[in-house]
Amino acid sequence: MYSLYANVIAGGVLIGIVYALIALGLTIMFGVMRVVNFAHGELVVLGMMGMRFSIEIIIAPIIGGMGTLFGPIIGAFFVIPINEISNHAAQSMGIFGLNTLIYGVLILMVIVFLPDGIWPPVAKRIERWMKGGASS
């Protein structure tokens, strides 16, 4: 439970930092040019496009299994295909932005049904298989 609160607080602080940097950038531009030009916000949008990649990097260990050696690796092998499947499904339906919804739902399903990640149950099955194979 403690890690949940720590993650929520860290996420809030990081989002606050992003907002502070946006405000600082607009303030500096106003101070230099003496004109409020919100067109510079487009650069923020372009920068936020890299946010999806950052989220994938953060989600991979969660999906794979945090605290394990192979968890992040297995998570990366699941996160990228889930992203591609959601993109393909949204493009085939022709609905803009649906890929983010599909991607989020698929990630949430994995987190809800496998809260420890994908690797721990796989590791237990491999361990049982190895013990079963060694005894027969």
Taking only the tens place, the pLDDT of each residue in 43-54 is 666 666 666 677
pLDDT at 119 over 60: yes
pLDDT at 81 over 80: yes
For the chain, the straight-line distance linking the first and the last C-alpha, in angstroms and rounded, comes to 42
Query: Per the structure block, which two tokens stand in for 116?
Result: 């420890």
Q: What is the pLDDT of residue 62?
A: 82
Instruction: For residues 31-57, give the mean pLDDT.
Output: 69
Q: What is the pLDDT of residue 3?
A: 73
Question: Where are the chain's structural domains?
Answer: 1-36, 52-135
pLDDT at 136 over 50: no
Long-range contacts of 42-45 (CB under 8 A, 24+ apart): none
